[in-house]
Chain A
């Protein structure tokens, strides 16, 4: 990662923001990540809604996909999954 920060002349007037927080990955905040057993998943999408990070997206087939680079490991998805198909697993 580059550490050089832009000088005032490189920054937009109005102090508006220049980058999306999608460039700021929060995946290293947590120690556990969800592992989803898709065979048990009923595609209810609740994990997508309950994820504070928006780190569980729903793919074209209607199944959840975890974006580990944003997941902070809170475990709400595993706690709330109605069919208990999500498990929090310690990452190496």
Chain B
């Protein structure tokens, strides 16, 4: 039975802030950066008005924001932060430490291009730059998804089989500053759903204890981990990512019961008999869905696969979704300069490599630095895919959608 919900007008940043207020983490350590600022401003208001009892640590940099979260999370606190672009780049060092120390921090990434030259608008170069740092990454299409992921992320992060930090990614401005209708749960439902942080028990150098800094049974976090142990600790993280494949759907299913909203690792749309399909992340997926509907009305067998969880990368689900599609276009909103293609394209190709019969795949880089990708451009992408399908070959797989040559 899902709870009675309140419809609110919230932009993406407010959705993060409002959900996080309902979660009421122990500490929020954050530094302002466009387009994330609304999150820290709203949260500061909640703190100033006594609506939450989180400690708000107004740090002097993003590096210190995540560093403080590491200290707090190791001390047993629920720790939240939010950033974008260069802020995430400045944190980059600590993203690896947070995951390596298995600290279930939740961080909203308001996706923005990482210059230079400087640009404050949306693409995915920031979170893609942190894709190997051992964080779960959830990419949101709209503010509703942002709100929901800002709640479920805690359960995923803190699950005893996972214990990995989570990035909730939302597109800068497109989502962060755009008001939408968002169905919100009552506070009590959210706090019951997230519950209290769980701790696993470990055998440390001074005895058995919960995995947290506690003067009663001291633990040593973050040791010098050399050739003889480091690799085994990386195996732990690999295993945690595997477990996340199992845990994330379980938590999403549990959340669907209270919210009535179902989520999955991948969201295929009109894919049953599709001949051409696009795969991508984030807010562009709404535009693609709209275009798919139009094309379907025109008799074109178009489909869409939205990837919601990018880390861990849902390879087998992706294979199931794409294996019978003649031509697939991968929408990347970031570059991997010097690489054969964008990150989502490369990983998708790798996932499909073992299929005896593979789809034709092309890469469509779009939206860099906030370049608008409207329905007309997406229609053009589908047309290009139809051409590939008819020809039976891809040619040059790289396409830069909406860029002036």
Do A and B associate with each other? yes
| CB closest residue in chain B, given A7 | B232
B229/A5 in contact, CB under 8 A: yes
A5/B236 in contact, CB under 8 A: no
Interface of B: prevailing SS: loop
What B residues does A40 contact at CB under 8 A? none
Residues of B within 8 Å of A, CB-based: how many?
Answer: 24
Smallest CB–CB gap between A22 and chain B, Å? 9
Q: CA A12 – CA B204 in complex, angstroms?
A: 8
B121-164 vs A, CB cutoff 8 Å, 1 = contact: the mask equals 00000000000000000000000000000000000000000010
- Cβ of B100 within 8 Å of any chain A Cβ, yes or no, is yes
B232/A17 in contact, CB under 8 A: no
A14/B102 in contact, CB under 8 A: yes
- Cβ of A20 within 8 Å of any chain B Cβ, yes or no, is yes
A16/B228 in contact, CB under 8 A: no
Interface Cβ pair total, 8 Å cutoff: 60
B232/A8 in contact, CB under 8 A: yes
B163/A20 in contact, CB under 8 A: no
A1-26 vs B, CB cutoff 8 Å, 1 = contact: the mask equals 00001111001111111111000000
Q: A5-B228, A5-B229, A11-B229 are in contact. Are A17 and B236 (CB under 8 A)?
A: no
Q: CA A65 – CA B15 in complex, angstroms?
A: 64
Partner of B211, one of A16, A19, A20: A16
What are the nearest 4 A-B pairs in CB distance?
A: A12-B202, A8-B232, A17-B220, A8-B235
6 contacts between A and B (CB under 8 A): A8-B235, A13-B211, A15-B102, A16-B205, A17-B220, A20-B205
> Which A residues form the contact surface with B (CB < 8 A)?
5-8, 11-20
